[in-house]
Structure 1
């Protein structure tokens, strides 16, 4: 249980009727994250992640970590700085050069702040290799900050110069092994987006600078998206751009979308120049066949808010809301306060915490219940519990606004805990096949 008055949340209050001329705010997720005190810009394309958004990202990371156990992925951490020599070896230094942040050390050796780590992880495999076929397929991943010198960063966390990303790398003896692994990881992606209750589509996409033999983008429909996805209303097949569905021949609905993930079978594009090899049974060493899988974590958080929220209120994927519930007590000095004050309100929160785990108490008792309810709704907490005029009854009853419903349920403490217990089971992260 935490008290809201102790949370560092520098809210930006916009006077009623004020005309906002800040053209740098270009989408609702950026506006809501800034105004609700969840992020703070430090310079163009760079943001400080504040405590409540950090909690949401931590929850998202935890879900991803649990899901990746499904495919026996192992977590590592690679340096943020990668030798430019490795990117020269694969030819990507010139291809992607304009988007790279580069630095030189005191010995005039050139490094780059990695936007991705294919070269670095292939170099790791070369350094410890050749890898035995008995160790394959091998899946290793990391969750780190990445850097890209965007020409025009915009939309807040949707296109920034520093972003948090999960990148998973697969190593295989051959293409058959790579395809089997690719299909297994695809199922993990589908499970992740189901947990988040986000309608993300997998669409065939060009490999671009990454190269390889197979590529899919994972697209979330949203008005602020800079991509577009064509979805067939008949068979639900999706593609990047097609007026007619290739599966059933029906016309498609085209909508803006945000790329929240990208998956590739890379083949040997990186293993050959960097000499990352494996020993196959009964044969000489051969280049590892690689695959890679990315999810933009900070982008996915913002994209989920973009897709689900109203213009004035955040709506989170319930599994990553900063707190699962907020408890609002009576206004100080009211009739209800004399019977159901701060201690009683915190007692309700402790009971609820036994069920949902993470509970926030809005202890700003000088404010009216209505004012605090409005602010809690704007923040999008999945469960808002109000200790109002019915809290003085025997037994006390509480108003529960669940899943942003405007009509409350009136429940005593046992009924409230039972309702939350049943509801919270829907948000349990279960990723075992």
Structure 2
């Protein structure tokens, strides 16, 4: 076996500290780095990937998903039709062939699979369809880091569904989410499902699947009472009635003009909360292709930061700066704005779940444009609009919105169910796409009900398989090494023996007994789950240390003590528990453990 284990810690990447999964995968001989963000997976690592993929296959087949394979080198044509050729950004690997045609290394396959289905489906009788693949994806990460958690090349399962109506697409969505939950349960690590933003993929409905880990780049806010969980970018919380010291002691900087405060947009009931402002420019094109420029001011409490995703979803894509003086850099050669919008955040309304309307300040009806505003924009500004909403990042301690609504807790802060923050690694994402891709790529079907051509309703569902491999280690390890859950361990049991020839012969017999006990006739995947460490050049102690590093769930020790007592020692990696078993007990011990695992395969 090619298992180049190492007791030495690998050299840290310059400016970065290796996360545990990166360190252990290298030390346990499961992967090697080819270049920045690109890794070769060695046999033991590949066995784990194969087992993860097998679990996914089994659960997706139960909901009628079909496996296919899509190319990694894609033409740009379909990406240009959907607009993502330009909007995806610099993370996309773009290249040209010898004829000068544009291609890309696939970061995802929505366009490719939609164009495929568009050519093959014409009638409602051919739907629904659910197709998926397991393949490599490529993203030009600016700063690849953390081993398999953020690389330039990675293995991913992506499922695409096609339905005749929104109602059917929602049913499919719920079925896939349930299948994902079953997959996560079988992997045997703590996970969470969070409401999420749809991002560049688009769509109307989205959830993220996370493995809980302190090295995770995502922050989740959740309620221990009702189970509400959301990504920090999307989380909605009720601001506590009692303001924090940060909110009350914050003072506006000199860059915030006095005239904004004089507009009286902040409620008098919360006058003790001092607002802070950020400014930005919003550019929109009208139907006549005329560009409209709006000056945006966002008011939040002093302790809150602006959530650009929430703000952009509410008013449009906006660029923000910290002060009004910096607006000129966003305007460029343009010297005027057509409109001004003040966005008042709910953090200035403690204990209230909803925003309140506000009248427009109309400069054309006698109001004077403040002089400090004239220094930035021209006198063509006619009116100032004010809107109220949720534009901030939630914080731990904010009230759970679901409990607030269901229990009618308004005005009773003592009964708030506070949100708690945990770190997590995103390993899966589900999207209800609607017709975002089917319309531009003309993926239509002839409808039975409307007797006309309609766009197919779509969904897409991803699972990062190499990221899952690393995430499982992040969630399940100790100072000795990896602690694999039994369903995905490279081998479920290892037999280690001393250098004594008689012990080596006994170990071979133990191998036959345990291998037979762990083989399930109903699950071919379990045909090879035991390995014998028969290296003659290493000591028993060295082999045991290697076994703990690699993380076999079970270690069977055949040492010289067996020659005296006739018993072998069995150790469980997860709990550290040990059993001293006589020869007749060995088979029944592992047959009992096999029954638990076999239930998942049937």
TM-score by length of 1: 0.91
The equivalences for 1:197-208 within 5 A come to: 197-208=188-199
- 1:307 pairs, out of 475, 485, 489, with 475
1:252 alignment partner in structure 2: 419
8 Å contact from structure 1 (residues 137, 181) kept in 2: no
- 1:86 pairs, out of 69, 74, 78, with 78
8 Å contact from structure 1 (residues 264, 291) kept in 2: yes
- Take 1:44 and 1:364, find their aligned partners in 2: how far apart are those partners? 33
- 1:148 pairs, out of 109, 118, 139, with 139
- Take 1:155 and 1:145, find their aligned partners in 2: how far apart are those partners? 18
The equivalences for 1:75-224 within 5 A come to: 75-130=67-122, 132-224=123-215
1:408 alignment partner in structure 2: 578
2:5 alignment partner in structure 1: 11
Q: What CA deviation, in whole Å up to 9, does each residue of 1:318-367 have, x standing for no partner?
A: 2111001000112x2xxxx2533x23211211221112241111112343
Shift of 1:236: 3.2
2:248 alignment partner in structure 1: none
Structure 2 residue 555 is matched with structure 1 residue 384: yes
Which deviates the most, 176-185 or 405-414? 405-414
The equivalences for 1:27-106 within 5 A come to: 27-106=19-98
Shift of 1:295: 0.1
- Take 1:217 and 1:87, find their aligned partners in 2: how far apart are those partners? 24
- Take 1:263 and 1:190, find their aligned partners in 2: how far apart are those partners? 12
Structure 2: stretches of 5+ with no match in the other structure:
233-393, 404-415, 519-527
Q: 1:291 to 1:338 in 2, by over 3 A?
A: closer
Q: 1:429 to 1:44 in 2, by over 3 A?
A: farther
- Take 2:419 and 2:93, find their aligned partners in 1: how far apart are those partners? 40
- Take 1:133 and 1:308, find their aligned partners in 2: how far apart are those partners? 46
8 Å contact from structure 1 (residues 195, 429) kept in 2: no
- Take 2:429 and 2:558, find their aligned partners in 1: how far apart are those partners? 46
- Number of positions where the alignment pairs a residue of Structure 1 with one of Structure 2: 416
Two-structure CA RMSD over aligned residues (Å): 1.9
- Take 2:593 and 2:508, find their aligned partners in 1: how far apart are those partners? 21
1:3 alignment partner in structure 2: none
- Take 1:83 and 1:429, find their aligned partners in 2: how far apart are those partners? 44
Shift of 1:105: 1.4
Shift of 1:24: 4.0
8 Å contact from structure 1 (residues 25, 31) kept in 2: no
- Take 2:137 and 2:556, find their aligned partners in 1: how far apart are those partners? 39
1:419 alignment partner in structure 2: 589
Shift of 1:247: 2.8
Shift of 1:34: 1.1
Secondary structure in structure 1 of the residue aligned to 2:62: helix
2:538 alignment partner in structure 1: 367
1:273 alignment partner in structure 2: 440
2:430 alignment partner in structure 1: 263
Secondary structure in structure 2 of the residue aligned to 1:318: coil
8 Å contact from structure 1 (residues 84, 112) kept in 2: yes
Q: What CA deviation, in whole Å up to 9, does each residue of 1:128-147 have, x standing for no partner?
A: 132x2223221000000100
Q: 1:431 to 1:263 in 2, by over 3 A?
A: farther
- Take 1:325 and 1:307, find their aligned partners in 2: how far apart are those partners? 21
- Take 2:483 and 2:546, find their aligned partners in 1: how far apart are those partners? 13
Secondary structure in structure 1 of the residue aligned to 2:569: strand
Q: What CA deviation, in whole Å up to 9, does each residue of 1:184-234 have, x standing for no partner?
A: 111100111111112211111110101111011111110111101123233
- Take 2:601 and 2:85, find their aligned partners in 1: how far apart are those partners? 38
- 2:502 pairs, out of 336, 339, 342, with 339
**Based on CA coordinates, which of the two structures has the bigger radius of gyration?**
2
2:317 alignment partner in structure 1: none
Secondary structure in structure 1 of the residue aligned to 2:478: coil
Secondary structure in structure 1 of the residue aligned to 2:206: strand
Structure 1: stretches of 5+ with no match in the other structure:
1-6
Shift of 1:279: 1.8
- Take 2:6 and 2:501, find their aligned partners in 1: how far apart are those partners? 33
